[in-house]
A and B are shown apart, each in its own frame.
Chain A
Amino acid sequence: MRDVFPGYDVLNKRDTPSWNEQTRAVIERRLAITDEPRFFDAREWAVLKALCARIVPQPEGRASPVPVAAMVDHKALEDARDGFRHIDLPALGEAWRRGLAALDAEAQSADGASFDALAPERQDALIRAMEGGSLKHAAWGGMPCDLFFRMRVIPDVVKSYYAHPTAWSEIGFGGPASPRGYVRMDFDARDPWEAAEAKPGQENEALRENLRVGR
């Protein structure tokens, strides 16, 4: 992953007119989520962490990685439903428990090891098989693996990651914007409180701009 927005950290805007009190409170709660399970048991948690690391792989050596698995765990614990459920899927928590156990069982029967112990390429192969609907281990208990992938794994994991300020900084999103909002709306127009993109050869200019974003 490239550092497209050098020096940009959306959290530097915390005390500017782009954030209001209720937003600060919400983000503080999110940042307080620690990397441990409260809903899943140890085995499920290990598989979930390995799965998240393949769906949204984070740069190596990131000082504080986004605790994606814990965010998914949080969703399951709170039983935060989506407003719809495919008729062939069980409810949120049950789908996750069964899906993680099934993925682990598939790893055991294909490679003789648990999912989290597999090499990344093997994990990806199993994920692709799940995506393609070809996993049929009894542990799925009749739950179609492709539906589980498309309607649970993908939305829950991906949306958790991109709900985190670290991800906003990584993609150059302006982040919370109330009450100040934005002024410059045209092509290639940037408000001083937005991320500056590093154009090749102009990384230093972008860095300078980005360090001023929270002022």
Chain B
Amino acid sequence: MWDGEPRANRAAPDDPMRAPRARNGRAPDVFRLGAWTPMREYPESEPVDFAIVGTGAGGGTLACRLAEAGFSVVAFDAGPYWRPLEDFASDEQEQTKLFWTDERIVDGENPLQLGANNSGKSVGGSTVHFAMVSLRFRPEWFKSRTLLGYGADWPLDWREMWDYYTEVEQALKIAGPVTYPWGPKRPRYPYREHELNAAAKVLARGAEALGISWAPTPLATVSAPRGASPPCVYRGFCTLGCSTNAKQSVLVTWLPRALRAGAEVRDLAMVGRIETDAAGLASGVHYHREGQWRFQKARNVVVAGYAIETPRLLLMSANERYPGGLANSSGLVGRYLTVQGNQACWGVMDEEIRSYKGPPSLAITEHWNYEDRGKDFFGGYSYMSQGPLPVLWAGVQAGARGLWGEALMDEMQRYNHSVGLKVVSEYMPQERNRVTLADEKDALGLPIARVTYSWCDNDKRVNRHALGFMRKALEAAGAREIWDQEDDTCHLNGTARMGDDPRTSVVNGDCRSWDIPNLWICDGSVFPTVGGANPSLTIQAIACRTADRIRALARRGDL
């Protein structure tokens, strides 16, 4: 122990992966060691206004906003209720406990690599280990079919979204630049931008050499104290959970607010089935907690399990009345799964970079999101600086580059000189990319998800363009021995798309399912297209909007 370390700062005596923490009228106070915060509890036999499945970017945000609007809310999550200050080690292997590591089957021409890189299983969802990049969509993307000639239009207006983005940026105290180079005017970011690390300065050098704009990335980690959150200490373990609470995840932002407003959170509670009544309406959820199946009655059910678990749950809930699964009269539940390209260029520099310091993506360019000239593909992309830690980095060198033996060991010794640029690019929504149920069952006897993915020609063209451009940028910044990582993808969206037409979408612009008016879907699955920007700010903005719409509908008696 070093002097000054709080005595209580020891591994928690209870195991949050074995026994629920949010019970008996209290939930963990994530900001204080061993402390609790009061939590209202609702009986299972009385219907609550909203049972929400999943407490991530979509579900957690919505739970907060609905509770604050006066609705009774119970939010379920299959994952544990972490106390970041006590439970999070500075260690890549240990922190895999944050990921959704239950088995899923992958196939297709370009099978996805899930797990670490894609989805979380925690109260707070994937935001507990996300990289905090907080971007607005380009306005035209909400009408990409009409304005840009590809994909599908969203039933949302970008100007309305602009206001909700502002709300979320304020709620998370996003740290970003004074002026943002792309898109329509936006308010100043609430907190000042973060200092750049050397990896980010390489991106800046390359961009300047090629004559395009770049910016310090708007990030959901505070650059100055905020309430009980200290400023980021640049420890660089962000995608493995932030042990200081500088990161503004759903776990430390929306959920404490939700609890204060009277929401209940049930951790280690896996929902296996949504029940419908004689009228065909949703009547509650069957969930597994503390070794047994239980049932919570609800007037409304919201599914927010992210783009694999959401369709899985809707499909698993098939019954006599809805033999193809709930909300699935269009046949589109599980279809149009759309990820984003996550290819990278890597090289070595003479200087020491030590990219393990600081949040992994401190600099960004969205140039190719906003510039349409000079493209041989539809869509756009951004790219960011990177900070892979050793286990991830070795996996890339061995997996994507094919190094093993002495070649791997030697290359790994150049870790501190390695640098890279990684894209988040827009893949096209394709009906054939989808989530279905496999024959195999999980530990609870529920069918596991099968995830099928193949790139289309446009996806391959965007990959090529991005890799070619990033290579030039890295070269211009002084990197040598540049190589392409061609295999990676990120972010899961689009398996319950929103739209204006019940025949071609699963939910409407209010995230309300067309088929079952008291069944809602509010997470990454509702995206009809994905753009070339990370999705979570948009998911949270949509959740805020959905809450406001629900309140308006309730006032009108239309709930």
* B1-29 CB contacts (< 8 Å) to partner A: 1-2, 4-5, 9-11
Chain B residues contacting A172 (CB-CB under 8 Å) are: 413, 415-416
Chain A residues contacting B358 (CB-CB under 8 Å) are: 182, 185
Are B104 and A162 in contact, CB atoms less than 8 angstroms apart? Answer: no
Chain A residues contacting B395 (CB-CB under 8 Å) are: 154-155, 158-159
Give Cα A19–Cα B412 distance, bound, in whole angstroms.
23
Interface string of A168-185 (1 = CB under 8 A from B): 101111111111111111
Interface string of B169-200 (1 = CB under 8 A from A): 00000000000000000000000000111100
Distance in Å: Cβ of A133 to nearest Cβ of chain B: 13
Are A87 and B105 in contact, CB atoms less than 8 angstroms apart? Answer: yes
* A39-61 CB contacts (< 8 Å) to partner B: 54-57
Decide yes or no whether B501 CB sits under 8 A from chain A: no
Are B2 and A84 in contact, CB atoms less than 8 angstroms apart? Answer: no
A182 CB contact (under 8 Å) in B10, B113, B201, B357: B357
Give Cα A4–Cα B409 distance, bound, in whole angstroms.
12
Give Cα A83–Cα B234 distance, bound, in whole angstroms.
28
Decide yes or no whether A194 CB sits under 8 A from chain B: yes
Give Cα A1–Cα B411 distance, bound, in whole angstroms.
10
Distance in Å: Cβ of A103 to nearest Cβ of chain B: 14
Are A190 and B354 in contact, CB atoms less than 8 angstroms apart? Answer: yes
From B90, B107, B111, B112, name the one whose CB has the most chain A CB atoms within 10 angstroms.
B90
Interface size class of A (residues with CB under 8 A): 35 or more
Are A177 and B354 in contact, CB atoms less than 8 angstroms apart? Answer: no
Distance in Å: Cβ of B458 to nearest Cβ of chain A: 25
Are A162 and B391 in contact, CB atoms less than 8 angstroms apart? Answer: yes
* Count of inter-chain pairs, beta carbons less than 8 A: 217
Give Cα A158–Cα B106 distance, bound, in whole angstroms.
22
Decide yes or no whether B31 CB sits under 8 A from chain A: no
Distance in Å: Cβ of B438 to nearest Cβ of chain A: 9
Binds A, one of B210-218, B372-380, B400-408, B538-546: B400-408
Are B116 and A83 in contact, CB atoms less than 8 angstroms apart? Answer: yes
Are B234 and A182 in contact, CB atoms less than 8 angstroms apart? Answer: yes
Q: Chain B interface secondary structure, helix, strand, loop or mixed?
A: loop
Chain A residues contacting B354 (CB-CB under 8 Å) are: 174, 189-190, 194
* B212-269 CB contacts (< 8 Å) to partner A: 232-237, 243-244
Q: Which B-chain residue is minimally distant from A194 (CB atoms)?
A: B354
Distance in Å: Cβ of A8 to nearest Cβ of chain B: 11
- Given the known interface contacts A21-B1, A173-B390, A189-B198, the answer about A197 and B103 at a Cβ–Cβ threshold of 8 Å is no
Decide yes or no whether A134 CB sits under 8 A from chain B: no
Chain A residues contacting B195 (CB-CB under 8 Å) are: 185
Give Cα A197–Cα B198 distance, bound, in whole angstroms.
17
Decide yes or no whether B394 CB sits under 8 A from chain A: yes
Interface string of B426-453 (1 = CB under 8 A from A): 0000000000000000000000001100
Decide yes or no whether A163 CB sits under 8 A from chain B: yes
Are B234 and A21 in contact, CB atoms less than 8 angstroms apart? Answer: no
Chain A residues contacting B347 (CB-CB under 8 Å) are: none
Chain A residues contacting B416 (CB-CB under 8 Å) are: 171-173, 195, 197
Are B405 and A171 in contact, CB atoms less than 8 angstroms apart? Answer: no
Chain A residues contacting B30 (CB-CB under 8 Å) are: none
Are A22 and B352 in contact, CB atoms less than 8 angstroms apart? Answer: no
Are B93 and A30 in contact, CB atoms less than 8 angstroms apart? Answer: yes
From B10, B96, B391, name the one whose CB has the most chain A CB atoms within 10 angstroms.
B391
Decide yes or no whether B332 CB sits under 8 A from chain A: no
Q: Which B-chain residue is minimally distant from A147 (CB atoms)?
A: B111
Distance in Å: Cβ of A43 to nearest Cβ of chain B: 23
Chain A residues contacting B99 (CB-CB under 8 Å) are: 83
Decide yes or no whether A36 CB sits under 8 A from chain B: no
Decide yes or no whether A110 CB sits under 8 A from chain B: no
Give 7 pairs: A residue, B residue, CB < 8 Å, sorted on A: A23-B89, A82-B115, A82-B116, A163-B92, A171-B412, A185-B358, A197-B352
User: Nearest 10 pairs between A and B by C-beta?
Assistant: A83-B115, A181-B233, A176-B90, A84-B114, A181-B235, A177-B235, A185-B197, A162-B394, A87-B107, A163-B93
Chain A residues at the B interface, C-beta cutoff of 8 Å = 1-2, 4, 15-23, 25-27, 30, 54-57, 80-87, 91, 124, 127, 131, 150, 154-155, 158-159, 161-163, 167-168, 170-190, 194-195, 197
Chain B residues at the A interface, C-beta cutoff of 8 Å = 1-2, 4-5, 9-11, 86-94, 96, 99-107, 111-116, 118-119, 195-198, 201, 232-237, 243-244, 351-354, 356-358, 389-391, 393-395, 398-399, 402, 404-406, 408-410, 412-413, 415-416, 450-451
